[in-house]
A and B are shown apart, each in its own frame.
Chain A
Amino acid sequence: MAVDALPDPSLRITPRRLGRNLLRSNPIIAIAVICLAAIVLMAIFAPLLSPHDPQLLAPAQRLKPASAEYPLGTDAFGRDVLSRIIYGGRISLLIGLGSAVFSVAIGLLIGLVSGFFKWVDAIMMRIMDGLMAIPGILLAIAVVSLSGASLTTVLIAITIPEVPRVARLVRSVVLSAREEPYVEAAISVGSSLPKIMWRHLVPNTIAPLIVQGTYVCASAILVEAILSFLGCGISPEIPTWGNIMAEGRAFFQIKPSLIFWPGLLLSIAILSVNLIGDAARDALDPRMKQREARP
């Protein structure tokens, strides 16, 4: 049998191919992956890596400069800055990953249902429009101040403003994919709606969702830091990058490194995630590849 020798590269996306495309497309991506992996490992093995208890107050050691015992010095309460930054990565990454997962899951559900049922669509999309009209930070501050600051509430507060973006994305994919003849063919062979959604529609949303997920992750890390910095986030004794910077602000003139180091790590983390997201978009969207091919 004569089987076509031309596999359609746009249609089959295996994790391995995706990974290969990601790395080949740009050496900077490799650096981003390494940086992010380092930060993730740092967060996971925080208890082994950090030289001190990040919450241990040592009033005698306030605002010490960098030394062998305190590699990045101490803060205004005598706590080891390095340990705090290492532990702070845990919260940041947890918030980033958590809000990416939750917003994608909830948005996927809403988008799927809205794409298929007109009356649900009419209601849900207006709610989404309403949510999008409120600035994300403002909404998050309101949620946190209404229900008290904890990891869970901060996570919820950051996730809610991201959901409409994901829902709209999924809805638009579903609206175009449901017109595909293979979806109509599935209807005519009697497939149930959940089966059609799961088998024929959801796979179409995966590529854009991976990309959107990375953006959500990066923005969530940033928003968490902003909330902490504004004092609306997780309580200040728990180290997060935002908290460390917020406390360091008062001593910026005396000891700028209190803001510099957590800020640097935050920037690297967000930049890495964004770069990986961009690369994923390029690797998953065949049109981007064509554009490269035609200078």
Chain B
Amino acid sequence: MTANTTTASSSAPVILDVNDLVTSIGTKPDAHRIIDGVSLQVRQGETLCVVGESGSGKSVTSLTVMGLLPKKVLVPTRGKITLAGEDILSATDRRLRQLRATTMAMIFQEPMTALNPVVPVGKQIDEVLRAHTNLDARARRERILAMMEQVRLPDVARIFKSYPHQLSGGQRQRIMIAMALVLEPKLLIADEPTTALDVTTQKQILSLIRDLQRDHGTAVLFITHDMGVVAEIADRVVVMRKGKVVETGALDAVLRAPTMEYTRNLLASVPSLIPRAARPASSEPIVLETDGLGKVYRQRSMFGDAREVAAAQNVTLTLRKGRTLGIVGESGSGKSTVARCIVRLIDPTSGEVRLGGQDISTLSRPALRPHRKRIQIVFQDPYRSLNPRVTVGETIAEGPVNYGVPHAEAIKRAGELLELVDLPADAITRYPHQFSGGQRQRIAIARALALDPDVLVADEAVSALDVSVQAQVLDLLDEIQTRLGIALLFITHDLRVAAQICDEVVVMQHGRVVEQGPAGEILTNPQQAYTKQLLEAAPGRHWDFANFRPVATAPHDTTAPI
């Protein structure tokens, strides 16, 4: 981090100057302002992080700069944007197209949707060069291969000819970066470029962006919601909220001594990587056990030879009443497969799932029915886990009604549950679209609790939420556990969340359990190389956000932060 602050001196020329920008819905004078008076500057060689929660206007700011706003829907109505001395808001479409490749470039969150799936990636980069340079085919190819090497892609000749789906998420993002930087733009806008990536890949991409920036002197406008990422990459920080700039300053100043209440709260909501104080060991009865649980997917091809994919293998875990067990791992580690096997949304192919001593892994649908109510699940995406056409009350009452509770009584209980999850009881007559993401997740929790389960499975239940909302939902889960003595199986990719809520942790990779044990031990003193790697990749692990200071020693070792 110390390295970052030296890269940009305050005397470097200003590349991007956004001054008092207002972007509204439509052109009417009273139109709703998505961006309301934002000013920011990015200097050559500097990384400016725009951080904010969803709806803060950070992405719209970047789209306004790029001239990529949906025409006539979102309109910049006031202010000025100057890119390397040129006014952007008054530029013609034709000029903007030129600028977008040669002077500014953008990388997005999801490289798969930003790349054309039916054109080899090398050719896609080539299109940029063909449109904006006069190089011949051989020179273009050389330049592309050199650029691909710069973004540290292996075997560039092969990747040049590959289609996007043949590459990993990290490789695709590298291609996007290569495409963005191939014409050496003065400004790179990165809109949540690592949010869809695993932490280990994220770490590589972040250091890549930083290295390229150092070599090329690019100004970087980096948009993120993740304070950890901010701590890793920013020179200066702009905190946004509801379309306005709340606070702006050098990274260190903002992290150490935020002046605004909102920034303080935002930082305080970031869960710490240091595990919470361990609860005393429990001797409560075991409510959930798996024994050698496995799920193998068989893909039968036309000619009979089957291909097998083991999504989970030999997973053994134990969960006691009132405790929280975390399953952590990157995408593809099989953690969600395990959760879905346990809830029997999919059928395990081997091993046992014992719920209160009874094996449910092979029960038929009707035989399973009485056991279903004892284990409930909360899903990741609160926008898709509630049926948009069913009222909140009916959604929560659905389970109890299935098990014979009279409808009126179930609805009454739904009102009580809504109060338990801190929503007003009159919410029962409303529809899900009237609630925010965090509120919807509370509704989903209320639905799961309606059946009085012994075990609540939370499958990435807070991953789609903003940090401040995430903190509230985590508190809610904690409170519910204390009050109802429910056992929690918490699936997450976020070690910070795991550190704050779990008693025990299971680390998974490639469908297998790598390491398991008490959260305090695993997250401070991991024994396995993979766990160490995961912890090291956690962004901002050297910073204790909630206490506005660096971590005295990094959680598990003393190696200097990157």
Contacts and interface: CB of A to CB of B under 8 A. Distances in A.
Interface of A: 1-4, 7-8, 11-12, 180-182, 184-192, 195, 199-200, 203, 293-295
B360 to A, nearest CB: 12
Contact-residue bracket for chain B: 35 or more
Given A11-B388, A184-B345, A293 B73 contact: yes
Nearest 5 interchain pairs by C-beta:
A189-B399, A181-B385, A11-B388, A181-B379, A8-B433
A182 B387 contact: yes
B95 interface: no
Given A188-B372, A190-B369, A293 B72 contact: yes
17 contacts: A1-B423, A7-B433, A11-B389, A12-B389, A184-B345, A187-B345, A188-B377, A189-B398, A189-B451, A190-B372, A190-B373, A190-B402, A191-B398, A191-B402, A195-B402, A199-B390, A294-B73
Contact of B433 (A12, A180, A191, A199): A12
Contacts of B444: 185
Nearest to B343: A188
Contacts of B388: 8, 11-12
Nearest to B423: A1
Given A185-B447, A294-B70, A294-B72, 20 more contacts: A1-B424, A4-B434, A8-B433, A11-B389, A11-B431, A12-B388, A182-B387, A184-B345, A185-B379, A188-B375, A189-B398, A189-B448, A189-B451, A190-B369, A190-B372, A190-B399, A190-B402, A190-B403, A191-B402, A294-B73
Interface string B386-417: 11111000000011001100000000000000
B32 to A, nearest CB: 9
A203 B390 CA distance: 10
Contacts of A189: 372-373, 376, 398-399, 402, 447-448, 450-451
A279 B369 CA distance: 44
Contacts of A187: 345
Nearest to B70: A294
Given A2-B436, A4-B436, A203 B424 contact: no
B434 A7 contact: yes
B299 to A, nearest CB: 15
Nearest to B340: A184
Contacts of A184: 345, 377, 379
Nearest to B398: A189
A3 B384 contact: no
B384 A180 contact: yes
A192 B399 CA distance: 10
B390 A181 contact: no
A187 B451 CA distance: 13
A195 B387 CA distance: 13
Contacts of B71: 294-295
Contacts of A180: 384
A76 to B, nearest CB: 56
A191 to B, nearest CB: 5
A3 B426 CA distance: 12
Contacts of A295: 71-72
Contacts of A293: 70, 72-73
A187 B372 CA distance: 9
Contacts of B369: 190
Interface string B322-341: 00000000000000000000
A182 B402 contact: no
B435 interface: yes
A293 B75 CA distance: 13
A4 B372 contact: no
A195 to B, nearest CB: 7
A80 to B, nearest CB: 51
B247 interface: no
Contacts of A185: 377, 379, 385-386, 444, 447
A150 to B, nearest CB: 41
A120 B436 CA distance: 40
A199 B376 CA distance: 20
B226 interface: no
A295 B72 CA distance: 9
A181 B381 contact: yes
A3 B432 CA distance: 10
B132 to A, nearest CB: 25
Contacts of B431: 11-12
A177 to B, nearest CB: 10
B377 A199 contact: no
Interface in B439-472: 439, 444, 447-448, 450-451
Given A1-B424, A4-B434, A186 B398 contact: yes
A184, A293, A295, most chain B CB atoms within 10 A: A184
A3 B390 contact: no
A199 B387 contact: yes
B348 to A, nearest CB: 15
Contacts of A182: 384-387
A294 B379 CA distance: 34
A293 B388 CA distance: 24
A206 to B, nearest CB: 9
A185 B448 CA distance: 9
B435 A4 contact: yes
B447 A200 contact: no
Nearest to B32: A5
Question: Which of A3, A7, A192, A293 gathers the greatest number of chain B CB atoms within 10 Å?
Answer: A3
Contacts of A2: 436
Contacts of B389: 11-12, 203
Given A182-B387, A200-B387, A293-B70, A3 B435 contact: yes
A9 B47 CA distance: 38
